[in-house]
């Protein structure tokens, strides 16, 4: 084992190779995604597909880890690359400074795991549809702050593992069944995001990823839908899980419908 | 990037459950794993498996010289699947040990010739051979339009993941 990873050797004798061999897709490199990048690189992941269309603004610096004042105006992808290459000079990074929906193929389908750090419900649905088509586990993270006057703001977040063959975001109730789409999180002033909550969500997602790859904890029947209560500082199994039937089959993504989309001419 | 064959752990378990069973006379069992090919550059081809076609006991031929010999129905079924769907077909068998399995010379001689007819019938899809051990897997694939086989990594998707 490489001495870089001696402190995580308890993950298993093959863990270093398995982690290095994993290709991770990261969608969104803002508050959540920048933590994901940082931890994945420290962990030893060497293959990446990263997407983010945005440049860094000064309002991002309260949470975008790895970014400095000098990065304002640069693409968020450039900070992610710097963090990864700083730990793995020969890392294999597919960098797409664009919306992933504008050019997902063939990059995303090559990923072994995708972590989605995206804002809108519609985008989460679309990303999950792609992941299911190529049977890729998707870990979805996000946070939200609600203000209901006169109470103090309520900060909440979620970490969901959408595993092909298992319950999807709709099955979990994380996205409304009726497709009534809210396009952005947040009600407390311009998409509220804070560094510590992003860090907790991202750390938990990376913990799920490590367990998926190495099975070190031997608790993989554990719960794939966690809720973060930012006011109480807790991460707990989501209450919706207790209402789900065990071994429920997802009706939204039939297992036979996998592979690339088929386009047919519509004959008038 | 490499050619990849990705399958759910539940499908892997179904294959294993079938392939590990002792046969009245054949020393090894075979089956077909079928999937959809996402083509790209030859080194970035993905096959997403969706089903397993097993081989009934009476379609094996009693031949002590090789691990598994089977009658024409077995091959015909795979070819028919190619014709009907245009999809990928991989011949899969199992070596009874843990660790990384290796295709034997008999595997090469007996199984390799199964692939060219599949490529003719479903030329847009990747075809190949998959070999399982108790805890690992290896595969070779002929991605379109390559004439030469190439190493194909195997991704078993489930809890835990298998990255081979
Ligand atoms: Zn579902």
The interface predicted TM-score (ipTM) is: 0.90
Q: Which of B8, B44, B51 sits opposite A135 (nearest CB)?
A: B8
Quote the CA–CA distance of A38 and A228 in Å, as a whole number: 21
Cβ–Cβ below 8 Å for A258 and B46: no
Ranges of beta strands (E only) in A17-91 are 23-27, 47-51
Q: Which residue has the higher pLDDT, B68 or A62?
A: A62
Q: Which CATH class is domain A3-243?
A: alpha beta
CA A6 to chain centre: 27
Residue B148 to residue B13: CA distance in whole angstroms = 30
Q: Give just the sign of the alpha carbon dihedral A55, A61, A64, A65.
A: positive
At B53, the pLDDT band (50, 70, 90 cuts) reads: very high
Ligand 1 centroid to residue A252 C-alpha, Å: 4
Which of A131-140, B21-30, B101-110 has the highest mean predicted lDDT (pLDDT)?
A131-140
Q: Which of A106, A211, A259 sits opposite B44 (nearest CB)?
A: A106
Q: Tell which wins on pLDDT, A88 or B59.
A: A88
A85 strand-pairing partners = none
**Cβ contact A259–B36 (<8 Å):** yes
pLDDT given at position A222:
61
DSSP string, chain B: --EEEEEEHHHHHHHHHHHTS--SS-SS-EEEEEEEEE--SGGG-EEEEEEEEE--GGGB---TTSS--B-HHHHHHHHHHHHHH--EEEEEEE-SSSS-----HHHHHHHGGGHHHHHHHSTTS-EEEEEE-SS-EEEEEE-TT-SS-EEEEEEEESSS-EE-
What is the arithmetic mean of pLDDT over B32-42?
85
pLDDT of residue B73: 85
pLDDT of residue B106: 84
B142-156 mean pLDDT: 89
Chain B residues in contact with A22 by the CB 8 A cut-off are: 161, 163
Using the structure block, give the residue that is written with the tokens 């694939």: B141
pLDDT of residue A203: 97
DSSP reduced 3-state for A49: strand
Residue of chain B with shortest Cα separation from A215:
B160
| Interchain pair B48, A113: CB under 8 A | no
Domain-wise residue ranges, chain B: 3-163
pLDDT of residue A220: 64
pLDDT of residue A221: 61
Of all residues in chain B, the percent with pLDDT exceeding 70 is 96
pLDDT band, residue B145 (cuts 50/70/90): confident
Q: Over the range A107-129, which residues count as b (16 or more CB within 10 Å of their CB) and which as e?
A: bbbbbbbbbbbbbebbbbbbbbe
Length of chain B: 164
Residue segments in chain A with a per-residue pLDDT below the cut of 50: 184, 186
Mean pLDDT along residues B70-81: 88
Q: Report d(CA A38, CA A17) in Å as an integer.
A: 19
> What pLDDT is recorded for position A187?
52
Q: How far is CA A12 from the centre of its chain?
A: 24
Say yes or no to pLDDT of B59 above 60. Answer: yes
> Does domain B3-163 match CATH 3.30.70?
no
Please tell me what DSSP assigns to residue A128.
H
């Amino acid at each position: 084992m490489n001495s870089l990873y001696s402190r995580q050797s308890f993950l298993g004798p093959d863990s270093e190779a398995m982690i290095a061999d994993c290709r991770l897709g990261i969608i969104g490199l803002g508050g959540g995604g920048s933590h994901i990048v940082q931890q994945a690189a420290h962990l030893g992941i060497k293959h990446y597909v990263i997407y983010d269309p945005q440049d860094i603004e000064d309002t991002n610096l309260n949470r975008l880890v790895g970014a400095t004042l000098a990065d304002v105006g640069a693409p968020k992808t450039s900070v992610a690359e710097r963090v990864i290459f700083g730990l793995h000079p020969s890392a294999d990074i597919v960098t797409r400074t664009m919306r992933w929906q504008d050019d997902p193929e063939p990059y995303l389908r090559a990923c072994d795991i995708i972590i989605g750090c995206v804002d809108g419900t519609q985008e989460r649905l679309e990303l999950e549809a792609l992941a299911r088509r190529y049977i890729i586990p998707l870990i979805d993270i996000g946070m939200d702050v609600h203000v209901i006057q006169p109470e103090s703001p309520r900060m909440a977040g979620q970490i969901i593992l959408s595993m092909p063959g298992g319950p999807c975001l709709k099955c979990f109730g994380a996205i409304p069944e009726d497709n009534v789409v809210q396009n952005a999180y947040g009600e407390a002033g311009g998409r509220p995001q804070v560094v510590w909550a992003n860090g907790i969500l991202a750390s938990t997602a990376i913990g799920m990823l490590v367990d998926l790859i190495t099975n070190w904890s031997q608790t993989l029947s554990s719960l794939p839908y966690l809720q973060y209560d930012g006011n109480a500082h807790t991460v707990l199994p989501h209450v919706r899980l207790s209402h789900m039937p065990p071994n429920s089959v997802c009706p939204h993504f039939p297992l036979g419908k996998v592979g690339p989309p088929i386009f047919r001419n519509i004959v008038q | 990037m490499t050619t990849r064959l990705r399958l759910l752990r539940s499908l892997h378990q179904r294959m294993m459950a079938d392939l590990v069973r002792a046969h009245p006379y054949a020393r090894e069992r075979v089956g077909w794993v079928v999937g959809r090919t996402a083509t790209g550059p030859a080194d970035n081809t993905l096959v997403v498996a969706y089903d397993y076609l097993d081989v009934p006991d009476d379609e094996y031929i009693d031949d002590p010289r090789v691990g598994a010999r089977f009658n024409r129905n077995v091959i015909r079924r795979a070819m028919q699947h190619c014709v009907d769907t245009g999809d990928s077909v991989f011949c899969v068998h199992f070596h009874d040990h843990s660790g990384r399995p290796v295709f034997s010379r008999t595997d090469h001689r007996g199984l390799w010739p199964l692939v060219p007819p599949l490529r003719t019938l479903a030329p847009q899809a990747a075809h190949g051979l998959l070999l399982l051990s108790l805890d690992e897997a290896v595969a070779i694939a002929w991605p379109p339009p390559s004439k030469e086989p190439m190493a194909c990594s195997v991704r078993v998707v489930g809890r835990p993941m298998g990255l081979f």
